[in-house]
Structure 1
Amino acid sequence: MHSAPRDEERITQAIRYLIQHAHNQPTLAQLASTLHLSEYHLQRLFTQWAGISPKRFLQQITLEAAKAGLQQGTALLPLAHELGLSGSSRLHDLFVTLEAMTPGEWRAGGASLPLHWSIEPSRFGPLLAASTPRGLCMLHFLPQPDAEQARLLLQLRWPQARLQHQPGSHQALLARLFQPLGPHDGQPLRLHVHGSNFQIQVWRALLTIPYGSLCSYGQLAQALGKPGAARAVGSAVGANPIAWLIPCHRVIRASGALGGYRWGENCKLSLLGWEAARQAEAADEDSTTPARHGIGTDAMA
């Protein structure tokens, strides 16, 4: 248990190195040397975390591929007229419906609104999850499972709500979140958020970015019919209150650089890496030969 945070940090470092040096196709030996790990330990740790080898991961996500796709205007979003519509949107194999609070509810700061919350462990660190009777209203990565910090965050956003700490109350939800390509039970996940009309519009658009895909702030603004509003779109993306489910981590700069992220660049790297690994794993499902995790000295296996 004590090694888990350290292992997560090493995986983040490995992902960062692979993205930054993808054009050189680094070997397993080079990656292991950079992280001061043995090749065997790195291969085992990476495969345990991602489900695939570093080499397979490298094939899935590279900085140059991201740049090329964005520069060529690759269609990563549905048509603009499909954005911002009410009803449900498909997010990997989960159905997500987004409901906005009324202006009156927003101005009242959630007065008399019952809001139950818990801090749950996740693959990417502690998660603060909070719900109203109408759906999930916050999913927030925390540096530490600090209940007092969590309560302050909730009070800042909903100063008049009736906060109820219910440990473990969101365990079932989190069990669904990080199994993106597996079967679902057909029940939609409801989100209950408050924001300006423009923020809500941007958050709905984020729900349409395909799993494992990337989009630039400019592309998102263009799809929303506001080509000159990339900066405003970026601000709305940064204000997203629902980590992972509203996938603001899939938005990067047109240059291919990661850009900012509300929960930190390392977390953004880990989320993108996890999605890339899941896609690679799904692509390998048809193979009848189990992957071998043996290591060569000159290339990653």
Structure 2
Amino acid sequence: MPKDAPDRYHYHVMARAIEAVDRLGPKATLDQLATEMSMSPAHFQRMFSQWAGVSPKRLQQYLTLGHAKVLLAERFTTLDTAHASGLSGSSRLHDLFLRWEAMSPGDFARAGAGLTIRYGWFDSPFGPALVMGTAKGICGIGFTADCTEAEAMHDLSRRWPDAQYVEDPEALRPWVASAFGAQQGEVPLYLIGAPFQIKVWEALMRIPSGHVTTYSEIAQAIGAPKAVRAVGTAVGRNPISYLIPCHRALRKSGGLGGYHWGLPVKRALLAWESARIEA
């Protein structure tokens, strides 16, 4: 896609806005933020509204560093009851079309030998994205807003070093269009990981859009309450960003924790989802 594609441009504006909000503080006016971005206030407001669906002033609240604490207080999800309460149904951003299956432990141990993984580069609401998939579904999504394309390719491909990689964006495009909301359709996922990792990733998929949970809550939900550190590692190893929503896992303190593709991307993801809940 061209470099000035709308999704990529809008995320670039968002990334700069996060930096400006951090530097100027949450009380910065629309005029101040627009000046920081070398835009007219009207143009700046239009870009924000197109990306987030809410005004820049409202979105500022979601971009502040304290927003994670608000989410924990107001939209915390107890995973053991999330499904029963309906949160993992109507409130999930992708439940309507998302389905998944996992690679067997034996196949995972073979490090991708005999597996063909197709890949392509796409624009997304969160910047340029590398998407990988097998015949069974998407197996990898990485964002390159905070890294190079070569780094993202190395990061994902080294997880399954013996697989055959074929650049073929057209084979993935219908799934990608559905995943990022450009069209309606099924989004199959193919989870390639160790059994413990897949347990953690399955728990992540039970967190509703616009809601959050904690690493310790995930550990409790998978029956390993003392394995919080291991859970954190598995969350960080999630290969399918956004669709397996590791960005919704926070520290008990309200800290964002880490994010494999950069904390600005995590904050943008949480802000984007919060805006859609409000809208």
- For Structure 1 versus Structure 2, the TM-score category normalised by the shorter chain is 0.7 to 0.9
Q: Which whole-Å CA distance do the structure 2 matches of 1:65 and 1:169 have between them?
A: 38
Q: Is 1:76–1:209's contact at 8 Å kept on the other side of the alignment?
A: yes
Q: Which runs of 5+ in 1 are unaligned?
A: 282-301
Q: After superposition, what is the alpha-carbon deviation per residue over 1:151-202, rounded to whole angstroms, capped at 9, x for unaligned?
A: 544542222222222133222222212229xx844x4x32222222221111
Q: Tell me the TM-score normalised to structure 1 length.
A: 0.74
Over the aligned positions, Cα root-mean-square deviation in angstroms equals 3.4
Q: Which whole-Å CA distance do the structure 2 matches of 1:68 and 1:33 have between them?
A: 29
CA displacement at 1:101 relative to structure 2: 1.4
Change (3 A) 1:163 1:50: same
Match of residue 45, structure 1, among 47, 70, 79: 47
For the residue of structure 2 that corresponds to 1:169, the secondary structure is helix
Match of residue 114, structure 1, among 116, 132, 145: 116
Q: Which whole-Å CA distance do the structure 2 matches of 1:115 and 1:6 have between them?
A: 28
Match of residue 171, structure 1, among 173, 181, 200: 173
Larger relative contact order (CA 8 Å, sep ≥ 6): 1
- Mean CA deviation greater in 28-37 or 96-105: 28-37
CA displacement at 1:20 relative to structure 2: 8.9
For the residue of structure 1 that corresponds to 2:17, the secondary structure is helix
For 1:1-301, list aligned pairs within 5 A: 8-15=11-18, 18=21, 25-32=27-34, 35=37, 37-58=39-60, 64=66, 66-68=68-70, 70=72, 75-79=76-80, 91-93=92-94, 94-143=96-145, 146=149, 152-153=154-155, 155-179=157-181, 184-185=184-185, 187=186, 189-281=187-279
Q: How many residues align?
A: 270
Q: Which whole-Å CA distance do the structure 2 matches of 1:132 and 1:21 have between them?
A: 45
- Mean CA deviation greater in 57-66 or 126-135: 57-66
Change (3 A) 1:194 1:3: closer
One-letter code aligned to 1:274: W
Q: Which whole-Å CA distance do the structure 2 matches of 1:15 and 1:235 have between them?
A: 26
One-letter code aligned to 1:122: S
One-letter code aligned to 1:45: M
Q: Which whole-Å CA distance do the structure 2 matches of 1:266 and 1:237 have between them?
A: 17
For the residue of structure 1 that corresponds to 2:101, the secondary structure is strand
Q: Which whole-Å CA distance do the structure 2 matches of 1:167 and 1:9 have between them?
A: 23
Q: Which whole-Å CA distance do the structure 1 matches of 2:67 and 2:9 have between them?
A: 29
Change (3 A) 1:137 1:256: same
Change (3 A) 1:119 1:10: closer
Q: Which whole-Å CA distance do the structure 1 matches of 2:64 and 2:19 have between them?
A: 10
Change (3 A) 1:56 1:232: same
Q: Which whole-Å CA distance do the structure 1 matches of 2:67 and 2:109 have between them?
A: 44
> Over alpha carbons, which structure has the higher Rg?
1
Q: After superposition, what is the alpha-carbon deviation per residue over 1:225-255, rounded to whole angstroms, capped at 9, x for unaligned?
A: 4333322211111000001100001112223
Q: Which whole-Å CA distance do the structure 2 matches of 1:30 and 1:95 have between them?
A: 41
Change (3 A) 1:59 1:121: closer
Q: Is 1:15–1:273's contact at 8 Å kept on the other side of the alignment?
A: no
Q: Tell me the TM-score normalised to structure 2 length.
A: 0.79
Q: After superposition, what is the alpha-carbon deviation per residue over 1:13-34, rounded to whole angstroms, capped at 9, x for unaligned?
A: 4245558988x65432443455
Q: Percent identity?
A: 40
One-letter code aligned to 2:134: T
Q: Which whole-Å CA distance do the structure 1 matches of 2:140 and 2:244 have between them?
A: 11
Change (3 A) 1:43 1:227: same
For the residue of structure 2 that corresponds to 1:157, the secondary structure is coil
Q: Which whole-Å CA distance do the structure 1 matches of 2:67 and 2:156 have between them?
A: 39
Q: Which runs of 5+ in 2 are unaligned?
A: none
For the residue of structure 1 that corresponds to 2:174, the secondary structure is helix
